[in-house]
Amino acid sequence: MVDDRRFASTWQLLLDSICQTMGRLDPQRFDGPPVILSSLPDLPYTRDGRDGPAPLPFIQGPPGRNIALAIGLRAALPRTPLVLLMNADSVTLGTNHLIHAARRNIGLTVLLLRADLTQHEAAGTMDRTGWGRPAYQQALEGPTRPLDWATALEAALVGRAHLQHPDELATLLTRALHTPGFSLIGVTQDETLPTGVLSQCDWPEYFSAYRDWCVPLRRADASPAAAAVAPRPARSVARQEWRIAGLGGQGVKLAGTVLSEAAGLFEGLWATQRGDYGSATRGGPSMVDVVVGSEPITYPNADHPDVLVLLTQAAADRWAGRARAGAVVVVDDDDVRRCPPGALSLPITALAREHTGKPIAAGMVAAGCVAALTDALSLDAIALSIAANMPAALVAGNLAACQAGHAATRAAQQETSACPGS
Amino acid sequence: MSTVCFMHGNEAAAEGAIAAGCRFYASYPITPSTEIAEILSGRLPEVGGVFIQMEDEIASMAAVIGASLGGLMSATATSGPGFSLMQENLGFAVASEIPCVIINVQRVGPSTGLPTKAAQGDMMQARWGTHGDHPIIALTPSSVQEAWRLSVRAFALAEKFRTPVILMLDAIVAQLKEKVELPDAPPQVQRPLPTEPPARYKPFAFTEGGVQPLAPFGGDYRYHVTGLLHDEHGFPTEDPALVQRWWAHMGSKIDQHLDEILEWEEDGLDDADVAVVSYGATARAAAHAVTLARKQGLKCGWLKLLTVWPFPEERIRELAAKVPRLVVAEMNLGQIRLEVERLAAGRAQVQGVHRADGLAITPEQIVAALQGQ
């Protein structure tokens, strides 16, 4: 049966302790009254017929989730005291959040009520944690010791207080609130348990430290708005589809970026780039589709490519047959032994090694091949795009690789060095 | 003035969030949405915001709610498996009317599914994923430009209507790179603030078709927030009369503003004998297919959904009354087709073009359907 009197008195004692802290908080550090977060059943959530605002700002979040909710609240309200009242929900539903809050040491204070304070019908089934374990659980689970967890995870402050001594509880709570980081206070009415601070850890306040440690991956001046673009006057270019396929590690995706940005940004055309990849980043099949034209691109896949550059035998076997009638297929003679009929066989990887020393520049040679086979792109635009997409030290070598691919393609077309069978 | 740049859809969604004024982001990284977290981990500190990687998506959604209650415009991003975990706290945000934006970059499901492959299979999860009847807003960009614009719009709608807004990208739009034009001075979304004194503030006022501005928590306006159904002050109630007023409020705050919330684009419908209804990346294949089919002399057009929830019911009813055949193309097994069939109610024949194997629907597939094959 619900013991309303007993529970109401628990709540009143807790509220009394929390209210006692209000006069003791350092005004240099704190603004406003404590915000309370809890999902405890049977707290006096009703307004008791009173009108107007709530006595304390109170969030009754989903059981167990209040800890995670409070982390967001802390980010928004760095100067507001945050107090969580929790029972078994924090060590069942909320265990993961409790552990990570302790680990992160974000500034929160959790008052964890032992089962002896939250006796009601639900407690019997909720408290399977050693905090009043039902008999059927005892054979399955050892006792849960959340104060030990928090200590092991170096929470800023771990302590215990007796509910029947509200002044002591208020003193410990005030200390916890002033301690930067995460505090966990077990609240009990068991006089045999030791009270006071059980563990304290000197730990940087998480959010300030996090901001200091957080290294922006890209500075503001490298954000997307930074590319200096001078679109050329519009000219009419019919939709063209290009596909480069090979292996991860051959620079395929970068080639797509260089080509699509050259067309989209530096030629003033519309362009899309779509990569396809599996779970492996290197060594697995890698492919990029670029579609360009003077009209906005609708369907972004190069299902019927006008230009296909195939860097491996597997790519040649899979894709050569997909080319549109009249398309140009280029293959890398380094790996492609069974040359598709009519394809241009060029030393793509060899040129990459020659100009950069690395096979990863094969993609740049391939980009040069594409540029040689389209009227949509100038080498000037490609040079600007290469410069915009890699560190300055790498630009010259990659540009040379790209130009070599361009020159080799033009030469091969004139010499009709196509594979037999065309 | 605007700046032309080249980016992918995830980057556009992230930059749209920054432009709108999002200053808190919590998530757990997951393919194919990870770039959003990666970009915001750098961009948010630059603008004085907070980025945090949480222990899971349950916690991410909870932290977003906390930060929004504290006054920060807040967002998270995920993909199907994480979106499933978010449903519990998403429901809390719906019930307690806390504005927030959830970006769901759809991959093939259920479960771990095909992690790197595109799908549009979470459309009904966006509508009904959390339990209980509830209003929701979901937007579906089909291009990188739209990903940016609808990201900004998601925050505007979330703040205006105090509701979670779900930005439904698919992995194609998320990872497609293309040219976008970004305004140099985008209009920042402003959260409205209450004007009445704290003593008279009703944080959950039952205003027919209206929304009470949300006061930042922890300030002068003290109030109670709960996932229990509540009265206008936020205190739990089981009074059926109050609960009915709550439902009326929740429904009307969206239903009375459909003109503002609904958005779609269409072309070629005036003389069409057949039209394709689509959204997201598939709408691009649809537009391409209509161009190809028109060249073959077929009178056809397309309608692209930009707001998918609430659904543009009136427009689809009109379309079904005027165009005898409707094709619904989507990378799932027919989630939106069922909606179109419901609204067509037999007046137009409805045919689906569906796939959920990780590949994009091709223009040829749609042309065949337009031709009645």
Residues B208-266: tens digit of each pLDDT = 899 999 999 988 898 999 999 999 999 889 999 999 999 999 999 999 999 999 999 99
CB-CB under 8 Å, B59 with A100: yes
pLDDT of residue A276: 78
CA distance A216 to B36: 13
β-pair type (A157-162, A196-200):
antiparallel
CA distance A224 to chain B (A): 6
Structure ipTM? 0.94
Residue A121 has pLDDT above 90, yes or no: no
Rounded-to-10 torsion of CA B42, B43, B44, B46: 90
Q: Is B156 helix (H, G, I), strand (E, B) or coil?
A: helix
pLDDT of the residue at A128: 37
Identify the domain containing residue B345 by its residue range: 264-370
Selection from B30, B12, B166, B36 nearest residue B107 by Cα? B30
Is there a domain that residue B208 lies in?
no
Residue A410, CB-side half-sphere exposure with 13 Å CA sphere: 12
Intervals of CATH 3.40.920.10 along chain A: 232-415
- Buried b vs exposed e over B115-131: b needs ≥16 C-beta within 10 Å? bbbbbbbbbebbbebbe
Q: What's the burial of A339, exposed, middle or buried (CB within 10 Å: 0-12/13-18/19+)?
A: buried
Determine, yes or no, domain membership for B242: no
Task: Say yes or no to pLDDT of B354 above 50.
Answer: yes
Tokens of B264: 């779609």
Q: How far is B315 from A192, CA to CA, in rounded Å? A: 71
Q: Is the pLDDT of residue B268 over 50?
A: yes
Question: How does residue A216 score in pLDDT terms, banded at 50, 70 and 90?
Answer: very low
Interchain CB distance below 8 Å, B172 and A299: no
What's B278's domain CATH number? Answer: 3.40.50.920
In A214-361, alpha helices (H): 252-261, 313-319, 348-356
**What is the average per-residue pLDDT within A296-317?**
96
Q: Which one of B183, B213, B235 terminates a domain? A: B183
Shared domain check, B272 and B136: no
CA distances from B340 to B232, B301, B335 (A): 37, 16, 9
Higher pLDDT, A162 or A226: A162
Return residues 2-21 of B near A (CB < 8 Å). Answer: 3-7, 11, 15
Distance between CA A252 and CA A337 in Å, rounded? 20
Give residue A176's pLDDT band: very low, low, confident or very high (50, 70, 90).
very high
- The whole-number average pLDDT for the span A31-58 is 71
Query: Considering only CB atoms, which chain A residues are within 8 Å of B26?
Result: 71-72
Q: Does B276 touch chain A (CB under 8 A)?
A: no
Considering only the beta carbons, identify the residue of A59, A226, A256 that sits closest to B225: A59
Region A415-421 average pLDDT: 62
Q: pLDDT at position A403, please?
A: 97
Structure confidence at residue A19 (pLDDT): 85
The verdict on residue B270 lying in a domain is yes
Pairing of strands A270-277, B177-183: antiparallel
The nearest CA of chain B is from the CA of A3 a distance in Å of: 21
Q: How far apart are the first and last CA of chain A?
A: 90
Query: At A282, is the pLDDT very low, low, confident or very high (cuts 50, 70, 90)?
Result: low
Burial of B135 (0-12, 13-18, 19+ CB in 10 A): middle
> DSSP code of B32?
T
Q: Is there a contact between B222 and A217 if contact means CB atoms under 8 Å apart?
A: no
What backbone phi and psi angles, to 5 degrees, belong to A7?
A: -70, -40
CB distance from A68 to chain B under 8 Å? yes
- Residues A72, B175: C-beta atoms closer than 8 Å: no
Mean pLDDT of B299-307: 98
Res. A4 pLDDT band, cuts 50 70 90: very low
How close A276 gets to chain B, by Cα (Å)?
8
Asked if B224 contacts B235 with a C-beta cutoff of 8 angstroms, the reply is yes
Domain final position from B183, B211, B227: B183
Domain edge (last residue) among B158, B183, B208: B183
**pLDDT value at residue A232:** 54
Tell me: pLDDT of A271 over 70.
yes
**What is the per-residue DSSP string for A68-90?**
HHHHHHHHH-TTS-EEEEESGGG
pLDDT at A122 exceeding the cut of 50: no
User: What's the mean pLDDT in A259-280?
Assistant: 87
Q: A57 and B218 in contact by Cβ < 8 A?
A: yes
pLDDT band of residue A184 (cuts 50, 70, 90) is: very high
Residue B143 lies in a domain: yes
CATH 3.40.50.970 in chain A, residue ranges: 4-213
Mean pLDDT on B301-312 = 98
The residues, ordered by sequence, that sit 6+ positions from A376 with a Cβ below 8 Å of its Cβ are: A237, A240, A263, A267, A269, A292, A293
A-proximal residues of B, 298-357, CB under 8 Å: none
B260 to chain A, minimum CA–CA distance in Å? 27
Question: Least CA distance to B358: which residue of chain A?
Answer: A276
Instruction: Kindly state whether residues B89 and B179 are assigned to the same domain.
Output: yes
SS3 category, A307: strand
Distance separating alpha carbons of residues B15 and B36, to the nearest angstrom: 9
Check residue B64 and give its pLDDT.
98
d(CA B305, CA B282): 11
What is the structure's pLDDT at A417? 56
| Set of chain B residues whose Cβ sits within 8 Å of the Cβ of A256 | 177
When pLDDT is cut at 50, 70 and 90, the band that residue A13 belongs to is: confident
Classified as helix, coil or strand, B354 is strand
Look at residue A134 in the predicted model and tell me its pLDDT. Answer: 53
From the candidates A31, A37, A58, A73, which should be mutated to test the interface with B, based on the most B CB atoms within 10 A? A73
How far is the alpha carbon of A275 from chain B, nearest alpha carbon, in Å?
7
Say if residues B191 and B165 touch (Cβ distance below 8 Å).
Answer: no
What pLDDT is attached to residue A103? 86
Predicted confidence (pLDDT) at residue A44 exceeds the cutoff of 70: no
**Closest Cα to residue B323, out of B306, B338, B310, B340?**
B340
Q: Average pLDDT over chain A, rounded to whole?
A: 83
Percent of chain B with pLDDT over 70: 100
Spatial distance between the Cα atoms of B267 and B288, rounded to a whole number of angstroms: 12
pTM of the model: 0.92
Q: What residues contact A4, with CB distance under 8 A and at least 6 apart?
A: A42
* Separation between Cα atoms, residue A349 and residue A366, nearest integer Å: 9
Mean pLDDT of chain B: 96
Of B134-138, B140-144, B171-175, B194-198, give the lowest mean pLDDT range. Answer: B194-198
- A69·B46 Cβ contact <8 A: no
Residue B15 sits in the same domain as residue B153 = yes
Q: Give domain status of residue B218, yes or no.
A: no
Which residues 83-142 of chain B have a CB within 8 Å of chain A? 88-89, 92, 115-116
Chain A nearest C-alpha distance from B258 (Å):
28
pLDDT of the residue at A127: 37
- What is the chain B residue with the closest CA to A224? B5
Between chains, do B179 and A57 touch, taking CB under 8 Å as contact?
Answer: no
Instruction: Provide the pLDDT confidence category of residue B106 given band limits of 50, 70 and 90.
Output: very high
A282 exposure class (CB count in 10 Å sphere: 0-12, 13-18, 19+): exposed
Q: B63–A72: do the CB atoms touch at under 8 Å? A: yes
Q: Residue B373: pLDDT band by 50, 70, 90 thresholds?
A: confident
Average pLDDT estimate for B73-86: 98
Give the residue with greater pLDDT, A360 vs A39: A360
Q: Is B264 an 8 Å CB contact of chain A?
A: no
Measure B273 CA to nearest chain A CA, in Å.
Answer: 22
Overall domain count for chain B: 2
- Residues of chain A in contact with residue B87, where contact means CB-CB under 8 angstroms, are none
Higher-pLDDT residue of B307, A134: B307
B220 CA: distance to closest CA in chain A (Å):
8
Residue A215 pLDDT:
45
Token pair of A297, please?
């691109």
Instruction: Dig out the tokens for B348 from the structure.
Output: 């137009």
> A233 or A167: whose pLDDT is higher?
A167
Query: Could you tell me which residues come within 8 angstroms of residue A114 by beta carbon, excluding any fewer than 6 positions away?
Result: A131, A132, A186, A187, A188, A189, A190
- Rounded-to-integer distance, Cα B371 and Cα B295, Å: 13
Residue B212 domain flag: no
Q: What's the confidence (pLDDT) of residue B369?
A: 98
pLDDT of residue A220: 36
Mean pLDDT across the stretch B156-163?
Answer: 98
Distance CA B187, CA B189 (A): 6
Question: Which pLDDT band holds residue B92 (cuts at 50, 70, 90)?
Answer: very high
CA pair distance B161, B137, nearest whole angstrom: 10
d(Cα B312, Cα B261) in Å, to the nearest integer?
10
In 3D, which of B228, B252, B90 has the Cα closest to residue B165?
Answer: B90
Q: What is the CATH number of the domain that holds B167?
A: 3.40.50.970
- In terms of pLDDT, which residue wins out, B258 or A275? B258
- Dihedral sign for Cα A275, A278, A281, A286, please: negative
pLDDT at A348 over 70: yes
The mean pLDDT value for A384-402 works out to 95
pLDDT for residue A416 is more than 90: no
CATH 3.30.1780.10 fits A4-213, yes or no: no
The 10s digit of each residue's pLDDT in A91-100 is: 888 999 999 9
Q: How many CB atoms lie within 10 A of CB A337?
A: 10
* Mean pLDDT, residues B310-324 taken together: 98
Task: Flag the least confident range among A233-247, A290-304, B333-347.
Answer: A233-247
A273 to B199: CB separation less than 8 angstroms, yes or no: no
Residues of B in contact with A59 (CB under 8 A): 66, 69, 217, 224-226
Which residues on A lie below 8 Å from B43 (Cβ)? 216, 218, 223
DSSP for B302-352 reads EEEESEEES--HHHHHHHHHH-SEEEEEESSSSHHHHHHHHHHTTSSEEEE
Burial of residue B338 (CB within 10 Å: 0-12, 13-18, 19+) is middle
Question: What class has domain A232-415?
Answer: alpha beta
